[in-house]
Amino acid sequence: MTVLALASLALFDVLLSGTRAAAGRDGRIAKPPYYRAAAWRSLAAGVLVVSANAALVAALRASAPDPDGAWSDLLSAGVRCVKVFGAFATLTLIAILFWFAPVRELRIVPTLVVLGPLTLLRPLVIVGGLLFAVVGSSNWRVWLAGLAAGVSMIGIEHVLGRGYVDRWRRLV
């Protein structure tokens, strides 16, 4: 359950990161196909990121002298991650629901709440959440898994954004 929750949270975050990476790069008015393509690209990247992190965790477990103990440590850290990132994702989802508000003015709430302050907070939440998850553990495998997760989650938007960096050139 914890593993599934972590994977879902990671995919959701990469999806939003990919959308953000695509935003502000295309000047057309009708953008649904553009954002759909960005979403598929993000999901593919998300699957890669989750798979890579899962493979690392599996390797860390398999290489441990006490695999069950290591898995237990990793799982405890995962539960803590789910608490922090789950709360952040819930907040984000609630704000995004305002996109479907019947009153037009309320539809800018996601822009004001999610796309502004929460985007600014995201790296801090990732670092803070991972620290909260690993700080009680003396197992270096837990710290390594946390470090890998942090680097991949924070770096993914930059990587996805590289695909859009030169789009402006066709306009000049």
Partner 1 sequence: MTRPSRADGFELSDLIVDYDPDTLERRDVTLDTVLGRLPAPAAARRVARTLASGTGVLDRARVDAVLVRAHLELQRLHEEFRVGALMRDLVAPMIDVARCRAGGRRVRVVDLGCGMGFVVRWLAARGHLGPDVELIGADCNRALVTAAQRLAEEERLDCRFVAGNAFALREPADVIISIGVLHHFRGAELAAVFAQHERSPAAGFVHVDIRPSPIAPIGSWMFHRARMREPLARFDGVRSVVRAHRADTVCRAAASGAPGFTLALLDARPGVAGLLRIFQATLGVRGVGGDAMRQAYAGFGRRLELA
Contact window for partner 1 (CB under 8 A) among 39-47, 67-75, 112-120, 130-138: 112-120
Size of the site for partner 1 (CB under 8 A): 27
**DSSP letter for each residue of 102-128:** SSGGGGGHHHHHIIIIIHHHHHHHHHH
Of 7 and 96, which has the nearer Cβ to partner 1?
A: 96
**Within positions 4 to 43, which residues make up the interface with partner 1, using CB under 8 A?**
20, 23-30
Residues 6+ apart with CB under 8 A from 132: 80, 84
Among 104, 124, 138, 162, binds partner 1 (CB under 8 A): 104
User: If binding is defined by CB under 8 A, does position 112 make contact with partner 1?
Assistant: yes
* Cα separations in angstroms, 127 against 85, 107, 122: 11, 30, 9
CB–CB of 133/81 below 8 Å? yes
CB of 103 to partner 1, least distance (A): 9
DSSP 170: G
CB of 149 to partner 1, least distance (A): 22
Among 102, 105, 124, 138, binds partner 1 (CB under 8 A): 105
Count Cβ atoms within 10 A of the Cβ of residue 22 and give its class: 0-12 exposed, 13-18 middle, 19 or more buried. Answer: buried
Among 32, 68, 100, 120, binds partner 1 (CB under 8 A): 120
Of 20 and 83, which has the nearer Cβ to partner 1?
A: 20
Among 39, 109, 148, 154, binds partner 1 (CB under 8 A): 109
Distance CA 109, CA 100 (A): 11
Query: Which position has the token pair 């030169």?
Result: 166
Residues that bind partner 1 (CB under 8 A): 20, 23-30, 104-109, 111-112, 115-117, 119-120, 161, 168, 170-172
